[in-house]
Amino acid sequence: MNELSDVIYEALGGYIDDLSNSVYLGTARGKGTMYLDGEYPLTPQDGVLPFLNVFYVEGGLEVVGLWGREKREALLLRMKPDNISVDMSGREIEITFLHPVGALVVVVLYGNEGLARTLEGAVEACKKGGNVEGRLVSSRVSR
C-alpha cells in the first residue's frame, strides 16, 4: 500500500476503535452550524437534510454524518454539550456546544419524542461526566 492508504486506514481504524467505546443514541435528519465571527454551515441547511448519527462517548456527544452523491461531504463533531432544547410541536431538537476556540456549534435534529428524551438524558449525563476531547471536522467549512 502507499502512504496515503496507510493514513486513511489508520484514521479509519482509530474511528472504529472510538465507536466501540461509545453508545449509539439515535439517527435523525438534521443540520449543523458553527457561529464564530459569522455563520458557517457544517451541513446542508435546507432541502433534504442528511442523516446525523448521535453517540454518547467519554462524557460527551459525537455527531457523525456523511452525505452527497457527486460531491461527498462529512461532519464529525465530538464535544461536551452545553444545552439542549426540545420543541416537540415541530419535532425539533436543538443541541448547543461551546467549542474551546469560542465558537458556538448548534446541531438541530428533526426526530421524535423518544429520541428527544434519550438526548435530554444524555446531555444531563454529559454535564455530570468528565471532559471529552473536543473535535470538529467538517468537509464544508475551511478557515
What are the tens digits of pLDDT across the range 38-91?
999 999 999 999 999 999 988 899 999 999 888 889 999 999 999 999 887 768
Cβ atoms < 10 Å from Cβ of 53: 17
Residues 90 and 123: their CA atoms lie apart, in Å, by: 20
pLDDT attached to residue 34: 95
pLDDT attached to residue 11: 58
Residues 84 and 97: their CA atoms lie apart, in Å, by: 9
Mean pLDDT over residues 115-128, rounded? 92
pLDDT attached to residue 1: 47
Spatial contact of 49 and 29, defined as CB atoms under 8 Å apart: yes
The grid cell for 42 is 457544517
Confidence of residue 110 (pLDDT cuts 50, 70, 90): very high
